[in-house]
């Protein structure tokens, strides 16, 4: 007997996999299929979200507080809300800075900045999510590496999933948003004491 855990994922041809569209994902969500699950739609696939821990939550709340105060009226700061990245992707970034408008009927599909705070999700955030955000209407992407004590700042998306600029900011450095250069955050403000 072959156990599913022993099956090589490459044994299934990628073109044979039926991907979900956002509209189908919404139908399944409204039907209550994800009632007790934390999932997001990435490249047409349902992906389990990592459970948050105190340092993750504190970093997210601090980023929200710092950005909200400095961007008042110029942009909206949304925390752990859906982002309409593409027809096959609806991630739930930890923080996203979007145009200052209301989103009653559609999730935002354009962002000045997306921030993911990573502990157990670092591989996904640096891989699949970086590729996703680099291929859609996201101008800048920060990955807060809690355990690594740094922030990866990705800018200049090429629209095909890659980034032209990648800088690693550490304690003592100050972050700015390219779209709002007057907005500043000290790296140590969003990392655990260390």
CATH of the domain at 92: 3.90.1570.10
The Cα 21–Cα 44 span in angstroms is 6
Within a domain: residue 77?
Answer: yes
Q: What was the pLDDT predicted at 185?
A: 98
Within a domain: residue 107?
Answer: yes
Pairing of strands 113-118, 140-145: parallel
Q: Output the pTM of the full model.
A: 0.91
Answer yes or no: is pLDDT of 102 > 70. Answer: yes
Answer yes or no: is pLDDT of 3 > 70. Answer: no
Task: Pick the closest to residue 130 from 114, 146, 119 (CA basis).
Answer: 114
Within a domain: residue 84?
Answer: yes
Within a domain: residue 148?
Answer: yes
The Cα 180–Cα 39 span in angstroms is 31
Task: Pick the closest to residue 157 from 95, 112, 107, 102 (CA basis).
Answer: 112
Pairing of strands 150-157, 163-170: antiparallel
Task: Pick the closest to residue 128 from 175, 81, 76, 88 (CA basis).
Answer: 88
When divided into structural domains, the chain yields a total of: 1
pLDDT band at 8 (very low <50, low <70, confident <90, very high): low
Within a domain: residue 114?
Answer: yes
Within a domain: residue 72?
Answer: yes
Residue-averaged pLDDT of the chain: 93
Within a domain: residue 161?
Answer: yes
Instruction: Write out the residue range of the structural domain in which residue 98 sits.
Output: 52-190
Answer yes or no: is pLDDT of 70 > 80. Answer: yes
Neighbouring-strand partners of residue 177:
180
The dihedral of CA 87, 40, 162, 190: what is its sign?
A: positive
Measure Cα distances from 51 to 40, 47, 80, 102, 130 in Å: 13, 12, 13, 29, 20
Answer yes or no: is pLDDT of 165 > 80. Answer: yes
Measure Cα distances from 124 to 35, 50, 63, 88, 173 in Å: 23, 10, 20, 17, 25
Within a domain: residue 40?
Answer: no
């Amino acid at each position: 007997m072959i156990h599913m855990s022993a099956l090589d994922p490459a044994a299934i041809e990628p073109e044979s996999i039926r991907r979900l569209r956002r509209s189908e994902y919404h139908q399944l969500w409204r039907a209550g299929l994800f009632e007790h699950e934390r999932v997001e739609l990435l490249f047409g696939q349902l992906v389990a979200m990592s459970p948050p821990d105190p340092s993750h939550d504190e970093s997210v709340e601090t980023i929200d507080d710092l950005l909200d105060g400095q961007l008042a009226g110029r942009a909206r700061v949304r925390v752990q809300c859906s982002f309409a990245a593409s027809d096959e992707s609806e991630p739930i970034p930890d923080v996203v800075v979007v145009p200052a408008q209301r989103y009653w009927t559609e999730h935002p599909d354009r962002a000045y900045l997306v921030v993911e705070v990573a502990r157990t999700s670092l591989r996904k955030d640096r891989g699949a999510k970086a590729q996703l955000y680099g291929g859609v209407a996201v101008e800048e992407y920060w990955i807060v590496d809690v355990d690594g004590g740094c922030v990866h700042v990705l800018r200049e998306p090429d629209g095909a999933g890659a980034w032209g600029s990648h800088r690693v900011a550490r304690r003592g450095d100050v972050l700015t948003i390219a779209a709002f250069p007057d907005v500043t955050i000290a790296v140590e403000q969003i990392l655990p004491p260390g």
